[in-house]
Amino acid sequence: MLAAILDIMEPIPEQRGAGRLILLNGASSAGKSTLAKALQAALPHPFLHVSSDQLVQAGMLPRRTSDGGAFDLWHQIRPRFFAGFHRCLPAFAEAGNDLIVEHVIEFRSWRAELARLLAGLDVFLIGVHCDPEELDRRERSRGDRRVGEGRAHLLLDRIHTFGPYDLDIDTTAGVTTDLVQDIIDAWHRRRQTRALRP
């Protein structure tokens, strides 16, 4: 009897198609989180904000130990962690959620994997660019990033060289209301053929 009552109380999910994705790719400290939150507030429809940093900050990773414990195996865990993160994106979108995803696509193989996993979905890929000197300044100011991490993403990992974007933006001067509106306008005008393709 109780099970029948609980079944009646269970909300029926809204029937809709797959969600849309705005995917922000940029170096550490390029302003992706600030931009994602500003877009989330400005868009006329509800978007979920998704990032791998959120999972880390929630305590998903094993804690570092002084005697070389589980967290020191990060180099082994890391590929599986990001493979899982990439796979969660189509799951959320196919359930009907619109997403703003912030990411550092560090490898050409990651871009290819995302293109394969997100094939058939409405993905608007944005390159978030920022001057390396400004990245360094932000990292020093933040205090929670290794200074030089963002610069390494640009100059060593060459994260913006793996393929085209639907839109390129520069956040060196910060995330302004005008910049956010320009992105939303470009997203509304997006073409059927997109940059992220298998």
Instruction: Retrieve residue 175's tokens.
Output: 């995330």
User: What three-state secondary structure class fits 164?
Assistant: coil
Cβ pair 36, 49 in contact under 8 A: yes
Give the per-residue SS3 of 65-129. CCCCCHHHHHHHHHHHHHHHHHHHHHHHHHCCCCEEEEECCCCHHHHHHHHHHCCCCEEEEEEEE
Is 182 tagged catalytic? no
Catalytic residue among 53, 122, 131, 170: 53
Provide the annotated active-site residues: 53
